[in-house]
Chain A
């Protein structure tokens, strides 16, 4: 079945550091790919998405590119802020039209 693997973390960075959170997937066909973010005490929010190969999703300075050849959708941000501290989830939606999530990566950004 479909699955998502993302780096487990936790990840701790200093403010203004570069962020990469790796995500790879296994799916039949051409799934849509997502990054969701969960701030402390809140539900998940969609951060960005990409629906076909080579698409780049971007939002709030975060970017991820749908790489079909490597079945990856790595999340990047050039300069993180303390307010980016949260748990980040990679997810896919394939033919079943159900979201399949990774385990989440906790990011802590220190001032």
Chain B
């Protein structure tokens, strides 16, 4: 595997379910990000991890819970979501001091 991978690519869940999104980066980077991409809206930064420590939480509801066990893996745990949480969730990584972020293909989440 190369670059940034995300699983699953598609997820349908009910409002009472609990699920997790997984992201893995194979680039040796030390920062990882979760973004939400909704139709006709700019990408919204949700969480940032630097060296496994959470450095940013952009007022994200507690029904989204991130986890970063090491610098290569990032999870987004989901529970009791709402239909308006349906979106494409993108993971990205970067190396400290460099501008470019590398994005995964995203998980298309549908909440029914």
Contact = CB atoms under 8 A, between A and B. Distances in A.
Interface size class of B (residues with CB under 8 A): 10 to 19
Interface in A91-111: 93, 98-104
Contacts of A103: 40-42
Give the one of A32, A44, A102 with max B CB within 10 A.
A44
Contact of A43 (B4, B42, B56): B4
Contacts, number: 41
Q: Tell me if A's interface is mostly helix, strand, loop or mixed.
A: strand
A interface, how many residues as a size bin? 20 to 34
Interface of A: 4, 32, 34, 36, 41-46, 49, 51, 89, 93, 98-104
Contacts of A34: 99
B70 to A, nearest CB: 21
Given A43-B92, A44-B92, A46-B100, 17 more contacts: A4-B42, A32-B99, A36-B103, A42-B105, A43-B6, A43-B103, A43-B104, A43-B106, A44-B103, A46-B102, A49-B99, A51-B99, A89-B43, A93-B99, A98-B48, A98-B56, A102-B42
A61 B41 CA distance: 27
B101 interface: yes
Contacts of A46: 100-102
A4 to B, nearest CB: 7
Interface of B: 4, 6, 40-43, 45, 48, 56, 90, 92, 99-106
Nearest to B42: A101
A99 B94 CA distance: 12
A107 to B, nearest CB: 16
A43 B48 contact: no
Contact of B45 (A4, A89, A98): A98
A53 B110 CA distance: 42
Nearest to A103: B42
Nearest to B31: A97
